[in-house]
Amino acid sequence: MRPLAGLLSSCGALISPRWSLRYLLAAFVLCYLLLLQYCRSHSFRDPTSLFFDAGRGYEPRYSRFRAAEAANFIRHIDAAAAPRNRSIDNASLPLPGTGAGLPKTNASLCVGIASIAREGVSYIEATVGALLMDLSPQERQDVYLILFIPHTDPSIHPSYASNWLPALADKVLYYDVDKEKLDHLRKLEQDGGLFREKGLFDYSYLLKACAAVDTPHVLMVEDDVLAMDGWYHRTKQALADAGRQTRQLGASKYLYLRLFYTQGLLGWNNEEWFAYLAGSLFFIAVFWVILVAIRRCLPHPNHTSHPSHANSLLSNKGILLTSLTCGPLFIILFFASGRLTVLPIRSGVHQMPRFGCCTQALVFPHDRVPDVVSWYESKKIGFADSLLEEYANANDEIRWALTPSVFQHVGGRSSKQDGPGSDQVAKVIWNSAFELNDPVALQAEHENAASHPLSGSM
């Protein structure tokens, strides 16, 4: 106890009036500035932070590497594959949902990707390449891939005449609807897309096509995302965890597992203002208690020799002023640093009932697909992501998400022609943590997982 007493005595000397208040203030400012710089240097990738640097936060470090690999893979497949028959026999294409003509497989995961022709850019090659290029033969056997070209004239799609498309897809899907419906879809295309109607129809159409394959799970992937190396084994593990946690909650089903979410919506949201206020007041109270405890532990100076002690930093007035100035400054720095920096989401599967965005990569249990399709068809018009959340909120559905995300959105041009600020919104649908992936570490993890496959997880 003697060393501690000596330390407290020294602190008492420092805090006493003999050490000018200006030096204490200077020390606090210096420490605060150092802490501020530390927060700035560690929060620049956090889109919820005041210190977010878009130039560095949106830098596609891993995505750039991944996209280049995927492009090389697609070029290799396209060169090696036999030239395709460019004619389309719609009569031979089964209607999604009936199961007629669709081969049943032993796959546990149907992956559906709808790809429209974007003006001046195409992402589908990188999306499919990143999805498939690292899969082991056993993993590829477990995935049934449907590539959907949702155009009344599919030949306008830049990949329609490619060799890689039929070589890599288990099924290339086109519209197989009656003439009246086809004419209506053609009119929607001529009117500029009207994504809220046609996009919703396409999403439902592809969902039904995957449901007809009869796999236990359906993964819906947009055509402007990149999968990380190892997405497959992480997804299988996440599905096993989601099922287990659902049962632990006493529930029998959940709506979906989210494999991508944009981090920008997970900041300090207005809906939780009361929790922030309560936490801030609690911090100031704790700060005040600590100062009072320090004063009690310090040796009390002789009031005769130190007549100004009552006005010192640890007087009642000094503690109050310190708590109401330094406390809020620390609180401001806490919030400015960003929620994802100071309160990071734990790794693994967790619930995300709010602020999850968007539909870039969602896994649905097979028995939930009819519920989702029925809801979409009853609405007819709307965006798939917002309508899905509306359904989930109305029915108190369980929604799981995987952290870290195994997919990244890379599209800079939105497919939602009639969406609000579509291109601007597309550029900020981003998961900064995805870019911190190490390709070498991911490859080693994937190889280890492939040699020790998880059984019974799907």
pLDDT digits 0-9 by tens, 249-261: 999 999 999 999 9
- pLDDT tens-digit readout, 215-261: 999 999 999 999 999 999 999 999 999 999 999 999 999 999 999 99
Mean pLDDT of the chain: 86
Domain ranges for the chain, please list them.
Answer: 19-57+268-337, 61-266+345-451
pLDDT bucket at 437, cuts 50 / 70 / 90: very high
| 107 φ, ψ (degrees, to nearest 5) | -65, 150
HEC per residue, 48-95: CCCCCCHHHHCCCHHHHHHHHHHHHHHHHHHHHCCCCCCCCCHHHCCC
203 touches 167 (CB < 8 A): no
Q: Is the confidence at residue 98, as pLDDT, over 50?
A: no
What is the architecture, at CATH level 2, of domain 61-266+345-451? Alpha-Beta Complex (3.90)
Count CB atoms within 10 A of the CB of residue 393. Answer: 12
Distance CA 145, CA 165 (A): 11
Q: Is the confidence at residue 278, as pLDDT, over 90?
A: yes
Residues in the chain: 458
- pLDDT tens-digit readout, 172-200: 999 999 999 999 999 998 876 567 899 99
* Nearest-10 crossing angle of helices 384-394, 369-379: 110
As a whole number, mean pLDDT of residues 30-36 equals: 94
Between 333 and 55, the higher pLDDT residue: 333
Chain Cα centroid distance, residue 312: 50
**pTM of the predicted structure, to 2 decimals:** 0.83
Q: How far is CA 204 from CA 92, 108, 210, 383, 388, in A?
A: 21, 20, 10, 11, 12
DSSP letter, residue 92 = G
Pair of tokens at residue 185: 């879809």
| 272 φ, ψ (degrees, to nearest 5) | -110, 25
pLDDT bucket at 295, cuts 50 / 70 / 90: confident
Distance CA 198, CA 416 (A): 10
